[in-house]
């Protein structure tokens, strides 16, 4: 991915979403030619010259100090995820590890498999680029049987955007899709030279107009908690809270755990789903270990 282009578009889209009123400024009279803030307004808020900010928005970032990037982040009202993404994009190219071949395969440790095995609720281990590395039986039964798919297809993003089953499964599919893109964007800022990411983004852009539109928004977000509403083909409507936990020895692996409200219709439905999959929501679910994806 072209770093200058990514910085330019990220700054432009963040600037476009902020109105003068939101920035605490009195808007000028008359029609505005651009949505959101003008470049000169961002420059004033950040305490830099207009020419200097234009240089930043053109992706010319060599020698720009951390203090300046902090000022720009405050001016654009970036949240923690957006700020981290901006600093990833602004990191000098000489500080990056240029990769000409895929990253080493991610491995799920035996202890993490045992953790999946011990959980009586759906759980999934997610890796780089939203690869699905492992799950317990309820995890596969809840979303999709990734274990039965070819290795290259064991990824949440193609499932969400290219599999019609996902549009039926997720009651709020548009939000799930936007969250998926925001997660990939965050990863892309950290690993712009990952060839498998480039391949994934290219495939999704080619095959999904919705993905192309969302990717152009340059939104980023780190999802750690929330609620998923699903319409499961076997047990009907489900409302599951989820938490995303980092795996300590591999920051690019996360454990996603889904839990229902106790004694709720969703809990009852999970009991039924568990009985059909050979799992036990009150004990130890049988575990299916998917081979780890290469890269």
Residue 100 in domain: no
Task: Indicate the helix (H) or strand (E) that contains 124.
Answer: strand 123-126
**pLDDT for 131:** 96
Residue 255 in domain: yes
Q: Sheet containing 132-136: give its strands across.
A: 225-232, 236-247, 250-259, 123-126, 132-136, 287-288
Do 127 and 252 lie in one domain? The reply is yes
Domain count, the chain: 2
Do 138 and 91 lie in one domain? The reply is no
CA nearest neighbour of 157 among 135, 128, 190: 128
Do 87 and 129 lie in one domain? The reply is no
Q: Are 141 and 117 in contact (CB under 8 A)?
A: no
pLDDT at 287 over 50: no
**pLDDT for 276:** 87
Do 142 and 167 lie in one domain? The reply is yes
> Using 50, 70 and 90 to split pLDDT, how confident is the model at 284?
very low
Q: Are 16 and 34 in contact (CB under 8 A)?
A: yes
Question: 294: which 2 tokens?
Answer: 């290469």
- What DSSP state is assigned to residue 24? T
Express each pLDDT in 66-119 by its tens digit.
999 999 999 999 999 999 999 999 987 544 445 556 678 889 999 999 999 899
Report the CATH number that the domain containing residue 215 is assigned in CATH. 3.30.450.180
**pLDDT for 4:** 87
Report the CATH number that the domain containing residue 44 is assigned in CATH. 1.10.260.40
The mean pLDDT value of the chain amounts to: 89
């Amino acid at each position: 991915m072209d770093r200058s282009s990514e910085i330019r578009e990220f700054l432009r889209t963040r600037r476009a979403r902020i109105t003068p009123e939101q920035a605490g400024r009195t808007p000028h009279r008359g029609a505005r030619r651009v949505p959101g803030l003008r470049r000169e307004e961002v420059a004033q808020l950040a305490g830099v010259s207009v020419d200097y900010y234009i240089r930043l928005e053109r992706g010319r970032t060599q020698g720009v100090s951390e203090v300046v990037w902090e000022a720009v982040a405050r001016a654009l009202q970036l949240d923690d995820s957006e700020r981290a993404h901006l600093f990833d994009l602004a990191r000098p190219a000489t500080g990056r590890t240029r990769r000409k071949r895929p990253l080493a395969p991610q491995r799920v440790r035996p202890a993490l498999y045992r953790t999946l095995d011990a959980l009586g609720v759906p759980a999934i281990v997610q890796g780089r680029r939203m690869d699905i590395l492992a799950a317990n039986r309820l995890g596969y039964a809840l979303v999709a049987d990734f274990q039965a798919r070819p290795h290259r297809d064991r990824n949440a993003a193609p499932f969400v955007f290219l599999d019609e089953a996902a549009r039926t499964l997720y009651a709020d599919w548009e939000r799930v899709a936007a969250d998926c893109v925001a997660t990939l964007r965050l990863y892309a800022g950290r690993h712009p030279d990952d060839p498998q990411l480039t391949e994934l983004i290219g495939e999704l852009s080619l095959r999904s107009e919705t993905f192309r539109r969302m990717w152009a928004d340059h939104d980023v977000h780190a999802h750690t908690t929330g609620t998923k509403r699903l319409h499961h083909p076997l047990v009907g409507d489900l409302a599951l809270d989820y938490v995303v936990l980092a795996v300590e020895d591999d920051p690019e692996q996360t454990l996603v755990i889904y839990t229902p409200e106790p004694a709720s219709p969703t809990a009852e439905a999970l009991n039924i789903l568990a009985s059909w999959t050979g799992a036990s929501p009150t004990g130890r679910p049988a575990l299916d270990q998917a081979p780890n994806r290469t890269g």
